[in-house]
Chains A and B, each alone.
Chain A
Amino acid sequence: MTEQTVHDVQPAVVKPVGGAVPRRRAWLAGLVGPLALLGESWMAAAGAALVAFWVLVALLAPVLAPYPPTQQLGAMINAPPLTPVPEGTAIMEFTDQGVQRTPVEGMYLLGGDAIGRDVLSRLIYGARSVLIYAPLATAFAYAIGILMGLVAGYRRGWIDDVLSRISDLILAFPVLVLYVVIITVMDRSALNIVLAVTFASAPGIMRIVRGLVLDLRNRDYVAAAQTRGESAWYIMFVEILPNARGPLIVDACLRLGYTTITIGVLGFLGLGLPPPDPNWGNMIAENRGAALTSPHSTLFPCIAISSLVLGLNMLADGLREISLKD
């Protein structure tokens, strides 16, 4: 019995003709690709926006800041926000031609600090400090941490034991004591920041990298490289490291935030960059005395630090979220 049962019910899903699901075109991949990826997580987008805001502020500081960050006006000492500069105020400069009077006008939008400088302008220029030194210090810490982690994770054996114990030692050391030790040995400078941050961060980075390397060294492509006689350095830096970049990127965002806080703390303690450098930590330290009577001069730098660190944390969380999505 021949039965031709033709299913008269069409399949519910019409088979998509080739290309119905759009694929990423090559030209998208360059810049718009990563940006579009960011849009998938609102947290990543918000974090990226916050960080981008401060980066822009730092880049455009000379244009945005209404006053020079070190200009002191006696009349504006501890002035509350939105205080206009009084009529007739002028900066007096003693030159060979005599006294030069440059009138100053406008308004201190966020008020004046303990010696009469514009908080807003210092905030804007302070972004530059943070956004130069935090990434620099973090990059240096990463260089050391990655080197230690790669060697410890790949070589194993006694090198791993020694490096791990060194990093445990540094991690166990109280960080503030470390900072004080650094400052008694050296003067205040940018180098302090880099050293302090490296000491505080490198062991943590080393642990992360070591963990990733312990997993990656068992892959077949590493064995393939070994069986063709590649040197250990080549395998560590060319075969293994590029494949560890995912978790490291997320960690880097977080660590930039921690470094920003560290710079703030260093400034507050009187370490780090010397005055009159307008960095946020310094601002909080200098205006500590007036904190109860004129809170604006310490509040705004706090908000600035918090917003930047929050932005970095959100970016890190969002990136992790995106990487877990399909």
Chain B
Amino acid sequence: MAAAAPGPRPDERPDGPVLEIEHLCISYFTRAGEVPAVIDFSLTVDRGEAVGLVGESGCGKSTVAMGIMRHLGANGRIVGGTIRFRGRDMATLSPEELRQVRGAQIAMVYQEPMAALNPSMTIGAQLAEVPLYHEPGCTEAEARARAVAMLADVKLADPERLMAAYPHQVSGGQQQRVVIAMALLSKPALLLLDEPTTALDVTVEAGIVELIGEIARRSGTAMLYISHNLGLILDTCDRVCVMYSGEAAEEGTIDDVFGRPRHPYTRGLFGCLAVPGRDKNARPLVPIRGQLPMPYERPQGCNFGPRCDHFQAGRCDAGPIPMLAVAPARGHRARCVRWDEIDWERHRTEAPPLEPLAPGEVVLAARNMQKYYPVHDRSVAAIVSGRAVRHVKANEDLTFEARARQTVAIVGESGCGKSTFAKVLMGLEQATDGALVFNGEDIATRPVQRRSTAQVGALQMVFQNPNDTLNPSMTVGQQIGRVVRKLGAERERRRVEARVLHLLDLVKLPRAFVSRRPRQLSGGQKQRVGIARAFAGNPAVVVADEPVSALDVSVQAAITGLLMDMQRQSDTTLLFISHDLGVVRYLADRVVVMYLGRIMEQGTTAEVFAPPYHPYTEALLSAVPIADTRVKRKRIILEGALPSVLDPPRGCPFHTRCPRKLGLVCEETAPPMQRTKSGHALFCHIPLDELSAMDPVIRTAAE
């Protein structure tokens, strides 16, 4: 696949590997000294190959991508190793040559599409810039024509209209497609993607992932796909490299690494994933014990040593561990000196199964709850026409129940109204209609200031963003202590302190953390403090709003395990709000699926995840990547974007994107509730027996 740029230079080898990284070392030079971010990293990407780079936060994968582009910022530097692009050592390139390589031969797609596009230029102008800059002979008309063709290639509807639009006028998924189009316009030899879909909804993500795969196949562009999501890597890549704390831990083809991992860290990572087959009671997740080492405190020898079950003093901490080839597969390597000694089949770390909790009586019941936000249009035209107030219909007609000791999951993408529901429940907002009965009293219109202390203490929340959930100016002990005192659990100073320490023990944090400030804690630790704070007043219901979305995979497993433990301890009802169906399937007893403010489906977990499906649930299930090679998924891609909540479609809200739309009836009439005998409720016009005859979306190889 020849690049449109001038032909290969004398020292280039266009037939060899596109990218060869050897013993790369990158360090950041900060006020505190030299902090090594990447140590001894080697990778080869061949032409037309898609390689995944997987790791948790702080492992150095984004730094590698920046290093390839030589864009390390003011205090980062490559201190060792070489990067060869098409045979040429990039360290020998002059700034002018580097500029020609960037954008033309190596293109990069970043995480935040809105940040990657210039908000003051039209999309057409930005796209046309690419060929105009990098190809001296290109005319404006030609550049424009190529841009339009590329927009059609990335499956964007109405490319001509998009050329004249500004980035803020299109949705997040469309923006990311535009960024990908920009990256591919110069026909690069290598495409770097740094978490391109993390900021997008699951159903939008599925579309982007499919697009990337198709384009890579068609144009033969090599790809380096960086992500923390193992399921995505499974879907898109041929080979994968797992990084841990700045080093490559394991490398090989997808089948090798996912099917026969030979590094204890990779093994541990798979044990943390909520794949189908894991159950919170029968087969709980096994978190990796210990903590990620700080960059300036890495242990001698193997970085993973302190957390490894197979650690052997003297061998694993003797000196730097090299990457060793794993026989018999070619190209499969692991940074473990004991890979061939450990009996992988026998040493499956499994946690002991737990007794399922029996649900009690109903503690929380929503009955036709409605929440509309007024939007005041103060323009003269609106006042004259009489439509000065419109309503954002955030929640419409919500009806469901939650029992004691149960975990109810509310699932939906952004804009579905789940966060609004949480706010009404907590008293930060008031419902406009309907009832929300908690312990016999209707709290739908009662703001938190008018609730009794007992009610306030009985209903607490765990928040999404661990960095924002704690006040940076107060110590951990002060914050938890304040909650204990305020909710009346204890009064006397000594007893409050004792309770704070007891809570820290429950969330498995060292007691010394009482005097630490949030900036000295990691994300997972902060979330643990958030959980301790929520349970400080002995609540009856805990609302967890996406508590693990912002955390790494191994930390997610630990925090979900902690939530389960706390629930057992205090007989609490857990209301779990999430968009991550994998975690929901693992954790929840009952599932409520929301779309655009309405409930589409509700039932027990087993019922919702098996046919009959609501068409939206079916699409959602098919979009969630699963990191298990034995699982086969049906592919359903939703067309179109989420409709506006100001003006939701009449009839069924999902009809604008539904792949199983019946016709006019879906557009005009609201769908009726259909119930199975076991209480599984669906809101769809398609008759129940037809829905029950659907193929299951997820099938394990055994079936």
Contacts known (A16-B296, A228-B486, A243-B471); A11 close to B31, Cβ less than 8 A: no
Enumerate chain A residues within 8 angstroms of B79, measured Cβ to Cβ: 12-13
Enumerate chain A residues within 8 angstroms of B23, measured Cβ to Cβ: 7, 9, 11-12
> Is there an interface contact between B296 and A20, defined as CB atoms closer than 8 Å?
yes
Q: Which residue of B296, B324, B483 contacts A228 across the interface (Cβ within 8 Å)?
A: B483
Report how far A212 CA is from B261 CA in the complex, Å: 50
Q: How many A-B pairs fall under 8 Å by CB?
A: 119
Decide yes or no whether B92 CB sits under 8 A from chain A.
Answer: no
Report how far A226 CA is from B32 CA in the complex, Å: 38
> Is there an interface contact between A12 and B80, defined as CB atoms closer than 8 Å?
yes
Residue of B nearest to A229 (CB): B456
> Is there an interface contact between B451 and A229, defined as CB atoms closer than 8 Å?
yes
> Is there an interface contact between A229 and B448, defined as CB atoms closer than 8 Å?
yes
Contacts known (A20-B33, A239-B471); A226 close to B448, Cβ less than 8 A: yes
Contacts known (A10-B320, A11-B80); A2 close to B470, Cβ less than 8 A: no
> Is there an interface contact between B428 and A226, defined as CB atoms closer than 8 Å?
yes
Decide yes or no whether A25 CB sits under 8 A from chain B.
Answer: no
> Is there an interface contact between A230 and B486, defined as CB atoms closer than 8 Å?
yes
Residue-wise interface mask of A (9-48) relative to B, using a CB-CB cutoff of 8 A (1 in contact, 0 not): 1111101111111110000000000000000100000000
Decide yes or no whether A5 CB sits under 8 A from chain B.
Answer: yes
Report how far A229 CA is from B39 CA in the complex, Å: 49
Binding site for A on B (CB under 8 A): 23, 25, 27, 30-36, 39-40, 75, 79-81, 296-300, 320, 322-325, 327-328, 426-428, 448-449, 451, 453, 456-457, 459-461, 463-465, 468-474, 483, 486-487, 530, 533, 537
> Is there an interface contact between B460 and A220, defined as CB atoms closer than 8 Å?
no
Chain A nearest CB from B466 CB (Å) reads 9
Enumerate chain A residues within 8 angstroms of B428, measured Cβ to Cβ: 223, 226-227
> Is there an interface contact between A2 and B325, defined as CB atoms closer than 8 Å?
yes
Q: Which residue of B75, B323, B470 contacts A221 across the interface (Cβ within 8 Å)?
A: B470
Enumerate chain A residues within 8 angstroms of B322, measured Cβ to Cβ: 5-7
Enumerate chain A residues within 8 angstroms of B487, measured Cβ to Cβ: 228
> Is there an interface contact between A227 and B456, defined as CB atoms closer than 8 Å?
yes
> Is there an interface contact between A325 and B31, defined as CB atoms closer than 8 Å?
yes
Chain A nearest CB from B302 CB (Å) reads 10
Q: Which A-B residue pairs are the 3 nearest by beta carbons? A: A12-B80, A242-B473, A21-B33
Besides the contacts A11-B80, A15-B36, what 6 more A-B pairs have beta carbons closer than 8 Å? A13-B39, A15-B39, A18-B297, A23-B32, A228-B537, A243-B472
> Is there an interface contact between A16 and B298, defined as CB atoms closer than 8 Å?
yes
> Is there an interface contact between B468 and A13, defined as CB atoms closer than 8 Å?
no
> Is there an interface contact between A5 and B32, defined as CB atoms closer than 8 Å?
no
> Is there an interface contact between B486 and A229, defined as CB atoms closer than 8 Å?
yes
Residue of B nearest to A23 (CB): B32
> Is there an interface contact between A220 and B465, defined as CB atoms closer than 8 Å?
yes
Enumerate chain B residues within 8 angstroms of A97, measured Cβ to Cβ: none
Enumerate chain A residues within 8 angstroms of B35, measured Cβ to Cβ: 21
Report how far A13 CA is from B32 CA in the complex, Å: 17
Enumerate chain B residues within 8 angstroms of A87, measured Cβ to Cβ: none
Decide yes or no whether A169 CB sits under 8 A from chain B.
Answer: no
Main secondary structure of the interface of A (DSSP, over half): loop
| Interchain Cβ contacts under 8 Å between A and B, 20 examples | A5-B323, A6-B324, A12-B79, A13-B80, A16-B34, A16-B298, A20-B296, A219-B468, A220-B464, A223-B461, A224-B461, A227-B428, A227-B459, A228-B487, A228-B537, A229-B453, A229-B456, A230-B486, A242-B474, A243-B471
Enumerate chain A residues within 8 angstroms of B486, measured Cβ to Cβ: 228-230
Report how far A267 CA is from B460 CA in the complex, Å: 58
Residue of A nearest to B40 (CB): A11
> Is there an interface contact between A18 and B299, defined as CB atoms closer than 8 Å?
yes
Residue-wise interface mask of A (196-227) relative to B, using a CB-CB cutoff of 8 A (1 in contact, 0 not): 00000000000000000000000111011011
Enumerate chain A residues within 8 angstroms of B34, measured Cβ to Cβ: 16, 21
Enumerate chain A residues within 8 angstroms of B460, measured Cβ to Cβ: 227-228
> Is there an interface contact between A12 and B469, defined as CB atoms closer than 8 Å?
no
Report how far A22 CA is from B32 CA in the complex, Å: 7
Report how far A88 CA is from B323 CA in the complex, Å: 94
> Is there an interface contact between B36 and A16, defined as CB atoms closer than 8 Å?
yes
Residue of A nearest to B31 (CB): A326
Report how far A109 CA is from B27 CA in the complex, Å: 57
Residue of A nearest to B537 (CB): A228
Enumerate chain A residues within 8 angstroms of B463, measured Cβ to Cβ: 220, 223-224
Decide yes or no whether A4 CB sits under 8 A from chain B.
Answer: yes
Enumerate chain A residues within 8 angstroms of B32, measured Cβ to Cβ: 21-23
Enumerate chain A residues within 8 angstroms of B81, measured Cβ to Cβ: 12
Enumerate chain A residues within 8 angstroms of B328, measured Cβ to Cβ: 1
Chain A nearest CB from B547 CB (Å) reads 11
Enumerate chain A residues within 8 angstroms of B300, measured Cβ to Cβ: 15, 17
Enumerate chain B residues within 8 angstroms of A21, measured Cβ to Cβ: 32-35, 296
Enumerate chain B residues within 8 angstroms of A228, measured Cβ to Cβ: 456-457, 460, 483, 486-487, 537
Chain A nearest CB from B303 CB (Å) reads 8
Enumerate chain A residues within 8 angstroms of B472, measured Cβ to Cβ: 243
Q: Range of interface residues on chain A? A: 35 or more
Binding site for B on A (CB under 8 A): 1-7, 9-13, 15-23, 40, 219-221, 223-224, 226-230, 239, 242-243, 245, 325-326
Report how far A15 CA is from B294 CA in the complex, Å: 12
Enumerate chain B residues within 8 angstroms of A226, measured Cβ to Cβ: 428, 448
Enumerate chain B residues within 8 angstroms of A10, measured Cβ to Cβ: 320
Report how far A3 CA is from B331 CA in the complex, Å: 10
Contacts known (A11-B39, A21-B296); A5 close to B427, Cβ less than 8 A: no
Chain A nearest CB from B472 CB (Å) reads 6
Contacts known (A21-B34, A229-B456); A7 close to B469, Cβ less than 8 A: no
Chain A nearest CB from B289 CB (Å) reads 19
Contacts known (A21-B35, A227-B426, A229-B448); A13 close to B27, Cβ less than 8 A: yes
Report how far A1 CA is from B328 CA in the complex, Å: 7
Interface centre among A3, A223, A239 (most CB of B within 10 A): A223
Enumerate chain B residues within 8 angstroms of A325, measured Cβ to Cβ: 31
Chain B nearest CB from A172 CB (Å) reads 24
Residue of A nearest to B533 (CB): A224
Enumerate chain B residues within 8 angstroms of A20, measured Cβ to Cβ: 33, 296
Chain B nearest CB from A223 CB (Å) reads 7
> Is there an interface contact between A326 and B75, defined as CB atoms closer than 8 Å?
yes
Report how far A8 CA is from B142 CA in the complex, Å: 52
Report how far A22 CA is from B324 CA in the complex, Å: 34
Report how far A243 CA is from B468 CA in the complex, Å: 12
> Is there an interface contact between B449 and A229, defined as CB atoms closer than 8 Å?
yes
Report how far A2 CA is from B533 CA in the complex, Å: 54
Residue of B nearest to A10 (CB): B320
> Is there an interface contact between A2 and B468, defined as CB atoms closer than 8 Å?
no
Enumerate chain B residues within 8 angstroms of A22, measured Cβ to Cβ: 32-33
Enumerate chain A residues within 8 angstroms of B36, measured Cβ to Cβ: 13, 15-16
> Is there an interface contact between A15 and B323, defined as CB atoms closer than 8 Å?
no
> Is there an interface contact between A15 and B298, defined as CB atoms closer than 8 Å?
yes
Report how far A303 CA is from B573 CA in the complex, Å: 70
Report how far A23 CA is from B296 CA in the complex, Å: 10
Report how far A20 CA is from B296 CA in the complex, Å: 7
Chain B nearest CB from A41 CB (Å) reads 12
Enumerate chain B residues within 8 angstroms of A15, measured Cβ to Cβ: 36, 39, 298, 300, 320
Residue of B nearest to A241 (CB): B473
Chain B nearest CB from A176 CB (Å) reads 38
Enumerate chain B residues within 8 angstroms of A221, measured Cβ to Cβ: 468-471
Report how far A22 CA is from B35 CA in the complex, Å: 11
Report how far A19 CA is from B297 CA in the complex, Å: 6
Chain A nearest CB from B108 CB (Å) reads 23
Report how far A239 CA is from B473 CA in the complex, Å: 8
> Is there an interface contact between B473 and A243, defined as CB atoms closer than 8 Å?
yes
Q: Which residue of B448, B453, B468, B471 contacts A227 across the interface (Cβ within 8 Å)?
A: B448
Enumerate chain A residues within 8 angstroms of B27, measured Cβ to Cβ: 13
Report how far A170 CA is from B25 CA in the complex, Å: 59
Q: Which residue of A2, A220, A243, A326 contacts B469 across the interface (Cβ within 8 Å)?
A: A220
Report how far A182 CA is from B150 CA in the complex, Å: 70
Residue of A nearest to B80 (CB): A12
Report how far A12 CA is from B27 CA in the complex, Å: 11
Report how far A15 CA is from B81 CA in the complex, Å: 15
Report how far A113 CA is from B457 CA in the complex, Å: 72
